[in-house]
Amino acid sequence: MRSVLAVLLLTLPLTVLSGCGLSSQELRGTAYLAISVEGDQPLTKAILQEEVLQAQTIVAAYRQLHPHVAIETNLFRESTFIDEVRRRQAAGLGPDLMLVAGSTARSLVEANLARSITIPEGTRSQLDPDSRERLKLSPRDLAGLPILRRPQLACYNRSRLATSPASTGALINQARGGLRVGLAVESRSLFWSAGPLGADRGIITAAAGRPLTASERQGLQRWLEWLSAANFNQQIFIKPSQESLVQGLLARRLDWIPCNSGNLSRLRRTLGVELGVSDLPSGPYGPPTPITRLRVLAFGTGSTAQQRRLADSLALFSLNPWIQSSLTTDNQDMLPTNRFVPPSAMDTPVLKAMQRSVQQADATDDISRLLPAGDPRDHALSRLVSAVAFGELTATEATGAVIRALAPAP
Amino acid sequence: MNDLLSQIMGWLPMLSRPQVLVQLALVALTIVGSRLVTHRYGGMVTSWPLELTATVVVGGLGCGLLAIAQQPMALAVLLLSVLACLQLSELLLRQGARWLPEDQIQPLRHLLIRPFLVGVLLWCLIELLDTRDELALIPLGHWMGANVNVGDMTRLVVVLYLLMVSSGPPSLGVAWLLKRGFALERVSVRAIGLMVRYAVITLGTVAVLETIGFNSTALFAIVGGLSVGLGFGVKEVFGNFVSGLWLLFEGSLRPGDIVALDGDFCEVRRLGLRATRLWRERDNAELVIPNQTFFNTSTVEFGVGRTLLHTQITVSVDPSQPISTIKALLEEIAAAVPGVDADHPPKAHMLGIGDCGADYMLKFWIHSPFENRTLCGAVFQAVVERFQVLGIELPNPHIVVELPSDQTST
């Protein structure tokens, strides 16, 4: 009898809660938003705030229109995101919305952990074509709704450096002159340097599993030699992760780092006007090849009808030009995915640098597609780059190993 | 704290999803079903094998149906697994009760198995409903110079629990080594073990507090304040605690020893830190005596294996009887009583001439203080019976009332 009473006590409030709001036409209830975090560094309050900043801004604006809506956010690592969602989905506790990298959104749909979306032509035409292309599943269906883009930039301390070096050669020269440069062995943080040294084509070919031409192999070796030589410079610091670089610049131990636009709010809070932002240096073999992180809203499959309505409504709201414009101009740490954001909203040096970076990133679209965030090959490549940078392997020895590590699993 | 509460409240709507409610209902049905089966076929006493079997069968069938219907069931599997583990542990404890005493079964159940299962359940539920890393970052407050968050507090509680539960056997091991290494013959292993255990718990707690960032000066101030509070407020408890430690350390009182308390012999059953538990043979009562008692009063004590008691009775005999005959007779009578130690022959002494006659003391040895009353009575009875047979008078005190002569004549 006690067990029956306990069951009633347990299920009654939940049933009452589940019934709440169904009778009302106004949107109300709670939706669950899972946000992915790149990298393997321990989660800190600062990283958490950085990752949820844009989502919080969108939710805060959305709640002004729908005050009875609550959005609960959870953060997962990008590398384990799909497993986490699968585990929760198996218990019926999967998220309603997921703010993830574009590649993860596609993988989620392929694994039946997210539903594809069919958006009206009017909304579809508003989307930035590159972002749309990266998420296209069929002519009408997308793997998710692209919300924002976070380009890779050069961040530096203006009290130590007036302008960012325009080329990789100038960067090394300035490092010889005392500029403390930080580089991370995380491949996604380092890919920008592949283009200037002519290694980008080799990486794409290897990641696609095709045989490399002699010039592509030479380019790859040149890149690894440059990394190896960089470490011999006492003023170039090779760090294990992108987060270490950010911490270095924040603590003024480093003067110049490649950064992601998502880091800008945090850097700006500490460095203030001393923070300089620019596009990354080019090199003798071409422009930089930065990676733009596309953030996409993917839609969970385990939601109730009410939660699904809420998720759809929030996603469409986050795409409207007004909210995209405010997100862009308020924090200046992202680029919108809506083409109809007025150009005047993008007319600042930081946003212009981001736009240049996005254009340069077109060359790395293939890298992003072939080597998605959280791919195990990414870790293998980082380990090899680390071995070269610290002199455990010569560039010649590492070239073959890198090609093998990048090859897709059969 | 508000953040933590709002985070936990945020889980409730997630639990109101139909697929979650179905799983909770299955778990409830399994509990009720297994109870009903047990009551129907197992009688009034809970039959754990029957209940476990019913849980596995009903739960397994329910999960099978969910799997066929392609519905989520991981939550139900988790809850049912914990329930089955709980029932299995009860079953094993019942079996273990044959070899282990009840006072060891209870700590095993309440300090180890149940907290462990509750911990595992909480851990898994948090992993399903939230993100552990993110939850750990929720701030609880600013205490003693440290920003304490949920992760810090959880770490502190878990470390304290683990230290308290698991430090016992290793501490006894260290104590045994110390005793052997330093030839501390008089000191109890348990006393050294307790000292080691409290030292480990204290150091562990301080270490965790230090890693959290608690200000050590503030910690010492609190410890100082507590000491003063203990001195004034609960000095009796504290006094008993110190006495308990000292008794253990000194080794003057150990389980199995026999002590005389208010004229009664009692066996030491358990030496606690606050009080000692004694068993009194006279009325089969267990006495809980504060440890300070053994410090403030002198105590007659017989160690384990050293229980030979030299006891005595006094007898008044007709003074006209030859002294040497009576002494020999008394020694012979006592030696013949079963229970009187034969290795130490009884000795009789004449004490003098008393009010009733010649007073003799008969001293003899017995094997256990608990037999003192019985054997003294038996020896006395044997003396009386033998003297009656031999016609030797055992004078009783009697009052002679002499009336005046005039009253006699009337």
Which residues, including other chains, have CB under 8 Å from residue B21's CB and lie 6 or more apart? A11, A14, A15, A18, B15
Please report, for residues A59, A128, A297, A337, B79, the alpha-carbon distance to residue A341 in angstroms, rounded to integers and kept in the order given: 19, 10, 19, 9, 50
The nearest alpha carbon in chain A to B77 belongs to A91
Residue B325 or residue A41, greater confidence: B325
Contact B137 A43 (CB under 8 A): yes
pLDDT in tens, A274-316: 999 999 999 999 999 998 888 999 999 988 888 899 999 999 8
Average pLDDT taken over every residue of chain A:
86
Domains of chain B are: 2-130 (no CATH), 248-302 (2.30.30.60), 309-390 (3.30.70.100)
Q: Which member of A18, A48, A90 has the closest CB to residue B134? A: A48
* Chain A nearest CA to B137, separation (Å): 6
Pick A302's closest partner by Cβ from B13, B17, B128: B17
Residues A253, A256, A257, A260, Cα dihedral to 10°? 110
**Closest-CA residue of chain B to A33:** B130
Mean pLDDT for the stretch of residues A390-404? 88
Cα angle B319-B320-B326, degrees, rounded to a multiple of 5: 70
CB contact under 8 A, B23 and A15: no
CB A338 within 8 A of CB A146: no
CA distances (Å), origin B172, targets A271, B259, B274, B275: 56, 26, 20, 21
C-alpha–C-alpha distance, residues B57 and B64, integer Å = 10
Measure Cα distances from A164 to A161, A257, A277, A353, A396 in Å. 7, 10, 8, 12, 31
Same fold, A26-150+293-341 and A152-291+355-406: yes
Q: How far, in Å, CA of A338 to CA of A125, rounded?
A: 9
Domain spanning A26-150+293-341, CATH architecture: 3-Layer(aba) Sandwich (3.40)
CA distance A302 to A89: 7
User: What pLDDT score was predicted for residue A341?
Assistant: 87
How distant, in Å, are the alpha carbons of A44, A172, B3 from that of A49? 9, 34, 15
Nearest to A93 among B28, B71, B75 (CB): B75
Instruction: Answer whether B23 sits within 8 Å of A48, measured CB to CB.
Output: no
CB contact under 8 A, B20 and A93: yes
- Note whether B72 contacts A48, CB cutoff 8 Å: no
- Residue pairs between chains A and B whose CB atoms are closer than 8 Å: 101
Instruction: Report the 10 Å Cβ neighbour count for A373.
Output: 23
Q: Does B404 reach chain A within 8 Å, measured CB to CB?
A: no
Is B240 in contact with B351 (CB distance < 8 Å)? no
* Per-domain boundaries in chain A: 26-150+293-341, 152-291+355-406
- pLDDT at residue A13 is higher than 70: no
Q: Would you call A91 and B13 a contact, using CB atoms and an 8 Å cutoff?
A: no
Mutate to test the interface with B, among A14, A87, A99 (most CBs of B within 10 A): A14
Q: What is the pLDDT of residues A124-144, one digit of tens each?
A: 888 988 888 888 888 889 999
- What pLDDT does B188 receive? 67
pLDDT tens per residue across span B263-282: 788 888 887 777 888 888 88
Q: What is the full per-residue pLDDT of chain B (410 aa) written as tens digits? A: 777 888 888 888 888 889 999 999 999 999 998 888 888 876 656 677 888 888 999 999 999 999 999 899 999 999 999 999 999 998 898 888 888 777 778 888 888 889 999 999 999 999 898 888 888 888 888 888 788 888 889 988 988 888 888 887 788 788 888 877 877 665 667 777 878 888 888 888 888 888 888 887 877 888 788 777 777 777 777 788 788 877 777 777 777 888 888 878 888 888 777 788 888 888 888 889 888 888 777 777 776 667 788 899 999 888 888 889 999 999 999 999 998 988 889 999 988 888 778 899 999 999 888 888 889 999 999 999 999 898 888 887 777 787 777 655 54
Contact B16 A15 (CB under 8 A): yes
Q: How confident is the model at residue A55 (pLDDT cuts 50, 70, 90)?
A: confident
Pick the CATH number of A152-291+355-406 from 3.60.40.10, 3.40.190.10, 3.40.50.1360, 3.40.50.2000: 3.40.190.10
Q: What is the 3-state secondary structure (H, E, C) of chain A?
A: CHHHHHHHHHHHHHHHHHHCCCCCCCCCEEEEEEEEECCCCCCCHHHHHHHHHHHHHHHHHHHHHCCCEEEEEEEEEHHHHHHHHHHHHHCCCCCCEEEEEHHHHHHHHHCCCEECEECCHHHHHHECHHHHHHHECCCCEECCEEEEEECEEEEEECCCCCCCCCEHHHHHHHHHCCCCEEEECCHHHHHHHCCCCCCHHHHHHHHHCCCCCHHHHHHHHHHHHHHHHHHHCCCEEEECCHHHHHHHHHCCCCCEEEEEHHHHHHHHHHHHHHEEEECCCEECCECCCCCCEEEEEEEECCCCHHHHHHHHHHHHHHHCHHHHHHHHHHHCCCEECECCCCHHHHCCHHHHHHHHHHHHHHHHHHHHHHCCCCCHHHHHHHHHHHHHHCCCCCHHHHHHHHHHHHCCCC
**Quick one: closest CA in A to B19, which residue?**
A92
Contact A43 B129 (CB under 8 A): no
Average pLDDT over every residue of A365-387: 80
Which positions in chain B touch A46 (Cβ < 8 Å)?
none
Find the chain A residues whose C-beta atoms sit closer than 8 A to any C-beta of B. 3-4, 6-7, 10-11, 13-15, 17-18, 29-30, 32, 42-45, 48, 70, 72, 74-76, 87-93, 302-304, 307
At A260, list the tokens. 């992601």
Residue A303: its chain B contacts at CB < 8 A?
17
Cβ neighbours of B401 (radius 10 Å): 4
